[in-house]
Amino acid sequence: MRAIRTAIADDEPLARERIASMLEARDNYQIVAQCKDGAEAVAAIRKERLDLVFLDVRMPELDGFQVLDALGGGPAPAIIFVTAFEDYALRAFEVSALDYLLKPFDRARFEKTLARVEEQFRRGKFGISEELRQFLGTLTPGGESFATRFPIKSAGDIYFVRVDEIDWIDAAGNYTALHVGGRKHLIRETMKSIESRLDPRKFVRVHRSAIINLDRLRKLQPYFHGEYVVTLQDGTTLTSSRGYSDRLRALLE
């Protein structure tokens, strides 16, 4: 059996080193990449023809869920999540027959994971299952960890838009449009999902179809029936709806 081409993605150097050390004695694993954030993980998966990734759930730039999002529906390696979660996410992993390593894990638990990996490899069933893709679609990252970049797919490539560079966001059919410096980038995600990943101290929804970056707000004018005319630094003018005006009203107090 050929060596299993493996990457380790974790923002903690000691965590990467621990997994690497546990694999050192196994000739059937070849570590081809160690990644310190989600962006590096996406690049490694696309470049290295990986069989397996140990993927931390919480990382800078892109978290583990966003890494898989960025890969879309194309070929992908098997994923072992490495996580400190003890809540519903772990229970969902178990129900969905998905493997994970709960930090801190011991060698016995690690060996159990490798046994499952090797069985899948022998059966030729590596990759992200449809079950896993559906499960990931039900998750919303918790806590106060907000997105710092969004992956954009274009002509087969993936590039990244930094959240703090976004001027405003609006709905565009089945897509959401990120407006950045006069350019529009489409991402296949709902407004609700995008909003849940943005820091509410920096972004505010002014309409069911529009979110603005407060750092880009130039002028706010009261309008009819509790609505506001919102003018951004790039000259974009939007009208808020009453249902989303409370945050804007607070800016005037």
pLDDT of residue 144: 47
CB atoms near residue 110 (< 10 Å): 17
pLDDT of residue 31: 96
Q: Cβ neighbours of residue 104 under 8 Å, at least 6 residues apart?
A: none
Element spanning 47, H or E: helix 38-48
Phi, psi of 101 (to 5 degrees): -120, 120
Same-fold call for 4-136 versus 149-252: no
Q: Under DSSP, is residue 231 helix (H, G, I), strand (E, B) or coil? A: strand
- Alpha-carbon distance 219 to 228, whole Å? 10
- Do 76 and 68 meet the contact criterion of CB atoms below 8 Å apart? yes
Cα–Cα distances in Å, from 105 out to 94, 110, 112? 16, 7, 11
pLDDT of residue 141: 47
Each residue's pLDDT, cut to its tens digit, for the chain (253 residues) gives: 688 999 999 988 999 999 999 999 898 999 999 999 888 888 898 888 888 999 887 777 666 777 777 776 666 788 888 876 655 455 545 544 447 787 778 899 899 989 988 888 888 766 665 656 555 555 544 444 577 778 787 766 667 788 999 999 999 887 899 999 999 998 877 888 788 878 888 999 998 899 999 999 999 888 887 788 999 999 999 998 888 878 777 776 6
Strands (E), the chain: 4-9, 29-35, 52-56, 78-83, 100-102, 149-154, 157-162, 168-172, 175-180, 183-187, 203-207, 210-213, 217-222, 228-232, 237-239
Domain 4-136 sits in CATH at 3.40.50.2300
- Alpha-carbon distance 49 to 29, whole Å? 14
Cα–Cα distances in Å, from 109 out to 31, 102, 202? 20, 9, 41
- Do 57 and 78 meet the contact criterion of CB atoms below 8 Å apart? no
Domain assignments of the chain as residue spans, ordered by start: 4-136, 149-252
CATH H-level superfamily of 149-252: LytTr DNA-binding domain (2.40.50.1020)
pLDDT of residue 134: 59
- Alpha-carbon distance 175 to 173, whole Å? 5
Computed on alpha carbons and rounded to an integer, the radius of gyration of the chain in Å comes to 21
- As given in the structure block, the two tokens for residue 132 are 């896993």
CA angle 163, 141, 164 (to 5 degrees): 10
Cα–Cα distances in Å, from 103 out to 85, 208, 210, 249? 8, 39, 39, 44
Q: Strand 183-187 and strand 175-180: pairing?
A: antiparallel
First to last CA, the chain: 68
Q: What are the residues facing 100 on neighbouring strands?
A: 81
pLDDT of residue 37: 87
